[in-house]
A and B are shown apart, each in its own frame.
Chain A
C-alpha cells in the first residue's frame, strides 16, 4: 500500500463490495484488501467510506453481518451477501456493463 491509490469512482463502491462478497463472506479489512489486490492497487478504499457503505448496504438488506473469529484468531465482523443482495448485484453489474460499454464506445469514437 505504498503507492497512492485511486479514489473509487463515485457510485461504484457498492458494486465493488457486493461483487467481493459474492465470492465469500469477508470482514471489512478483507473486503478492502481484496479490492485492492484484485485491482492491483488501483482502488484504495478508506475505512470511513467502507464502513459507511456497509452500514448502508446492511440497512438496504443486501448484506448481513455477524461477529466471528477470523483465520488469525481475531474477532472480526464478517459480512455476507443476502439473496436480495445477489439480485442487486446482478442489477448493478448489468447497469455497470452498459455504462462501461457506452463509455468505451465513446472513447473509441473519439480516438
Chain B
C-alpha cells in the first residue's frame, strides 16, 4: 500500500507542481503568522515579533526546497530542471550543437543502417519455419579439380533412401519457363522441385494445396503453384485461379496452390513452382546440374551431416548405373566429397566479411566522432569550472554535478540519435535501391522498429561515453578553484585528457585512411584488370527460349534462331550478333573434356573445362579475338561439322602455344564424335573480375547426336554488339524484330555484358565507397580535433607568447614551435594508428585484390595525407600565435 501511495502522491505533486507549491507556501506562511502572533502575545513590538518569526522560520524558498527535496519526485523534477538548463545551454551555442549533432547523426545513423543490413542479411534466420535445420547439399570433386559440385537425381534418391540424419530431402533447379495464354508470352522464373521441397522448408501454401508425391509422376497431371506476387499480378488475387490451366513451355499445367506472400527462396524471385518429374529407373549416376536441400533431424551438426553424406556417396554407385561411356572407376577417381552448408550460409556466401569489416569501420568512425565531441565538451566544462566549483562549495554533491554534466551530453547524444534515425532510414533506403550492392536477402532489409531502438540506444550510449570524460575529470575538482583565477594543474590534467582523446582520434583516423587507401588501390587494380572482353557496355544480351511444346522440330528451332539473328542484325546500329547458351560471366557448366591421345586409362575422367555452345561470331560480339585458326562458320553449323574451339590458356597449357592446338581433337564427356579444334579464342574472365580466366571449350551451337539427329539448344542468349545497347528504343526495335520472325516467342532477361561486369565489381565498389566515406570523415574529424587542441594551446599560452614576442622572438620561430607541437602530436597518434593497422588490417585481406595488406605505398600515402592534414590544422592557430600583439596579450589577463 505504501509504495503505491508514495507513487500516487508523488505523481500528484509532479502533475500539479504549482498548486502543491502554493499549498506548502501557505502552510509555511501560516506557521510564521502563528509564531508572530505568539511573540506579540508575549509582549514584543510587532516589528520585532515579525523579525524573530522570519528568522526562525527562514526563507520560504529554502524551506520549500528542504521539504520537497525529501520526496522521491524531487529527483525527477531536478532532472527536468537539468534537462531544461542543458537544453538552454546547448541552444546558446548553436554552432557547437549543430556540428556535434550532425557528426553524431552521421556516425550513429551509418552504424545503425549498416547494422540493420547486417541483421537482415547475416543474423536473422531465413524466413522459413525450419530455416535453422535446412542444409544445402553441395559437394566438391577434388579428383577432377572441381570446387563446387551440385546435386544429381542419383544422389537425391540415395540420400532419401539411405541417410540417417535427414528427415527429408528435396531436389530443385532454378530456371525460366515460357508462359503462354496469359497475354503476351513471357518468361518467368521457375523453380522445378521434387514434391518434398516445401516440406523440407516447412512452408505451407497460402491457398490451395502443396505438392503431393503423385505430382512428380512423369505420366501424371501437370500442376503448378504460383507465387503470391504472380497470383496478384496475373489472377488479381482471385481464388478462381485454382484449377485454371496455364501453359508452361507449351504444356498445360493446372494451378493447384498459391505460395505465401514474402516467400522468396534464395533470392530466386521465382513466379512459379513446378514439380520436378523424375523417373527413377532412368536416372544415371552422374549429372550434377540440380541443387539439393535437406532438413536434418533436430540437434544434428553440420559435421555429422557431412559424415553421413560421405557414407551415402559410395552407395549411389551401387544403386545407379554409370553413364554410358564411363568406367565405374571414373566416379571413384573424381572423389566426390560432401560440402554441405547451412542453407543460410549458402545463400549469404562470403558477404559477411565485407559487412562486418565495413561495420567495424563505421564503428571506428563513431568512436572518433565521440572523441571529438568529448574534446569539445571538455572545453565547455572548463568554462563552467568556476560555476561547478561554487556549487560544490555550496554543498552540491559530485553526483549532482555529474548528473548536470551528463544531462547535457546525453541530451546531445539523443538529439544526434533522433537525427540519426533519418540518416539510418536514408542509408537503408539507399542500400535497398542502389544497384551497387547486389546483396543477398536484400528484400528482407527494411527500416524497422528494431533499427529505431538500436539507433536511440546507441545514441544514449554515445552520450554517456563522451559525457563521462568531462565528468571523470570533474570528480577531483577542488572547491578552492572557485576563488583563485587560473589553475595550471587543472589545465595540465585537462591537456592530458585532451591529448589522449586526440591520439585516439588520429590513430583511428590513420587506420581508416589506410583501409580506404588499400580498398582504393584494390578497386583500381580491379578496374584495370583486362577482362579479355572489350567494351562490354556495347553488348546487348537478350534471352529467347524455344520450348519443345511450342516448337517441336529441331530443324525449325535452328532455322528460327538463325532467322532471329538475321533479323537482329538488320536493326540499325547493330554490329556482330551471335548466339550462345550462356553469356560470359553468367555461369556455365563445367564438364570434363577428353583430349585425343591424352586418355591414360579408359574411362578416367579428364579435367573439367567451362563449356558453352556458340554460333559463329561469338568472339567478335563478346569483344574477344580469334588468336589462332578460324571462327566457326555457318556452314559448320549447317553441316554439323565435327569442330570445336578452345581458349588460349588451355591451348598454351596443353600444347605450348595457340597454334599448337589447331588440328587436335577433343571430345565431350557426354559422348559423341571427336571434334577438331579449328580455332583458339583469347581468354576472358568468365568467373568474375577477381578470378583468373578459366580454361574454356566452345562447342558449335548445333551438332548431330550419336543417332545422327540434329541437336539444338532451346534456351539461348543473343549477344548483339551495338553502341545503342541498353537504350529503350533499341530494345523495342529488337522486340519488333523478334515478333517479325515469331510472334509467340518472348524477349527475356534484357541486359548488357557491362551489367554482368558491374555486378561482379559491385561488392568492391560498395566496400570502397563506404570505407572511403568513413576514411574521409575520419580525416576531417581528425583535422578538427588537431585544430581544436592547437587553438586551445595557443590561447592558453598567449601571455607567454606575448612576452616572448616582446623580448624579440621572431614570429616565424613562434609559428614553427607550434607547428612542431602539432606535428609531434599527430605523429604520436599516427604511430599508434600504424601499430593498430599492422594488427587489424589483415582482417581486411578478404576485401583486397592485387594489393598486399601491408602495401608500403598506401601506408606512405596515408601518412603523407595525415601530415598534410595536420599541417593545415596546425597552420591557422600557429599563424595566429605568430601574429600575437604583445601589448594586447599581456593586457588580456
Q: Which residues of A contact B (CB under 8 A)?
A: 1, 27-30, 32-33, 46-48, 51-52, 55-56, 58-61, 72, 74-77
Contacts and interface: CB of A to CB of B under 8 A. Distances in A.
B570 to A, nearest CB: 95
A59 B37 CA distance: 30
Contact of B56 (A33, A46, A56, A76): A46
Query: Which of B10, B27, B63 has the most C-beta atoms of chain A within 10 angstroms of its own C-beta?
Result: B27
11 contacts: A27-B34, A30-B34, A48-B67, A51-B27, A51-B63, A52-B70, A55-B70, A59-B2, A59-B6, A60-B2, A74-B34
Interface in B1-44: 1-2, 5-6, 9-10, 23-24, 26-28, 30-31, 33-35, 37-39
B63 A77 contact: no
A110 B37 CA distance: 46
Nearest to A51: B67
Interface of A is mostly: helix
B864 interface: no
B63 A27 contact: no
B17 to A, nearest CB: 14
A74 B57 contact: no
B67 A52 contact: yes
A77 B30 contact: yes
B34 A29 contact: yes
> What range describes how many residues of B lie at the interface?
20 to 34
A59 B56 CA distance: 26
Interface string B514-530: 00000000000000000
A55 B39 CA distance: 27
Chain B CB within 10 Å — which of A32, A56, A59, A75 has the most? A59
Contacts of A72: 37
Contacts of A27: 30, 34
A56 B70 contact: yes
Contact of A75 (B2, B26, B38): B26
B58 interface: yes
A19 B27 CA distance: 21
Contacts of A74: 30, 33-34
Which of A30, A55, A56, A75 gathers most chain B CB within 10 Å? A55
B38 A77 contact: no
Interface string B59-76: 000110011001100000
Contact of A29 (B1, B5, B26, B30): B30
Given A47-B57, A58-B9, A76 B30 contact: yes
User: Which DSSP category, helix, strand, loop or mixed, fits chain B's interface?
Assistant: helix
Given A48-B66, A52-B67, A29 B9 contact: no
Contacts, number: 67
B706 to A, nearest CB: 99
B412 to A, nearest CB: 36
A46 B28 CA distance: 11
B28 A47 contact: yes
Contact of B58 (A29, A48, A55): A48
A61 B184 CA distance: 82
B50 to A, nearest CB: 14
The 7 closest A-B pairs by CB, nearest first: A29-B34, A48-B66, A52-B70, A51-B67, A29-B31, A52-B67, A76-B30
A51 B34 contact: no
Given A47-B56, A52-B66, A52-B70, 4 more contacts: A56-B70, A59-B5, A59-B10, A61-B5
Nearest to B52: A1
Contacts of A1: 38-39, 56
Interface of B: 1-2, 5-6, 9-10, 23-24, 26-28, 30-31, 33-35, 37-39, 56-58, 62-63, 66-67, 70-71
B8 to A, nearest CB: 9
A75 B28 CA distance: 12
Contacts of B26: 75, 77
A89 B33 CA distance: 30
Contacts of B63: 47-48, 51
B30 A75 contact: yes
B568 to A, nearest CB: 89
B821 to A, nearest CB: 55
Contacts of A47: 28, 31, 56-58, 63
Given A28-B30, A75-B30, A51 B56 contact: no
A48 B56 CA distance: 10
A72 B10 CA distance: 32
Contacts of B66: 48, 51-52
A20 B10 CA distance: 26
Contacts of B9: 58-59
B731 to A, nearest CB: 79
Contacts of A32: 31
Contacts of B2: 59-61
Nearest to A60: B2
A56 B6 CA distance: 9
B68 to A, nearest CB: 8
Contacts of A51: 24, 27-28, 63, 66-67
B27 A77 contact: yes
A29 B35 contact: yes
Contacts of A60: 2, 5
B33 A28 contact: no
B49 to A, nearest CB: 11
A33 B33 CA distance: 13
A76 B31 CA distance: 9
Contacts of A61: 1-2, 5
Pick from B24, B31, B38, B39 the residue with the most CB of A within 10 Å: B31
A76 to B, nearest CB: 5
Contacts of B27: 28, 51, 76-77
A71 B45 CA distance: 23
Contacts of B28: 47, 51
A48 to B, nearest CB: 4
A77 B23 contact: yes
B70 A33 contact: no
Nearest to B65: A48
Contacts of A33: 34, 38
Contacts of B62: 48
B1 to A, nearest CB: 7
A29 B57 CA distance: 11
Nearest to A84: B1
Nearest to B34: A29
B599 to A, nearest CB: 98
Contacts of A28: 27, 30-31
A44 to B, nearest CB: 9
Contacts of B37: 72
A61 B56 CA distance: 29
A59 B4 CA distance: 9
A19 B451 CA distance: 59
A62 B58 CA distance: 28
Contacts of A55: 67, 70-71
A27 B31 CA distance: 9
B800 to A, nearest CB: 52
B22 to A, nearest CB: 12
A56 B9 CA distance: 11
